[in-house]
A and B are shown apart, each in its own frame.
Chain A
């Protein structure tokens, strides 16, 4: 069974641009979560989508947004990129009501 997949693997953008990151959950999983892990720091929760709806968001500005599609895949958009947005962005999925989350390999975003 395929795990969580993310694309692209690496993304290089300049300050002020927009970035779009994509995630496909494990087949049968309906919830998708996004996390940010800056270099040397812990994982910070960004967003949770379930059944196409945003269910919860972490303490991040509105320029971090996303959506979940009918096939449960998800997109994370980061507008007006800032240097400090450089990080590993991890997507995870889970099957309700089970709580275990399984992570994809991440997208490494570099903002120059």
Chain B
């Protein structure tokens, strides 16, 4: 089983749609959780950190369920510029090593 699993997609949604991505992780000792976005052939950029009860940043909402070892990202009112690959990232304790999911590809269509 992969340490961090994501639905690879692709998700093709119209502008203005709401889209949700899910991610599961296998290491129950994981302490930190993040969503990054990566545009084609570019570096990953931090989108959001996800803490305890989850958090919201504008159109983006991240949720964490430690009991189910599950993280989600909700994007409301999708924009064309949201088209990217979204990476679920987990840090398992003192090793400070981030483990990346394989990413979910999103294309927002006009």
Contact = CB atoms under 8 A, between A and B. Distances in A.
A103 B43 contact: yes
A100 B32 CA distance: 9
A50 B95 CA distance: 12
A101 B103 CA distance: 17
Contacts, number: 48
A56 B46 contact: no
Contacts of B99: 45
B97 A45 contact: yes
A43 to B, nearest CB: 4
Size class of the A contact interface (CB-based, 8 Å): 20 to 34
Nearest to A97: B96
B55 interface: no
B91 A90 contact: no
Given A42-B102, A42-B103, A103 B45 contact: yes
A102 B32 CA distance: 15
10 contacts: A33-B98, A45-B97, A48-B97, A50-B96, A55-B96, A90-B43, A99-B49, A100-B49, A101-B46, A105-B43
Interface of B: 31-32, 34, 41-46, 49, 87, 91, 95-103
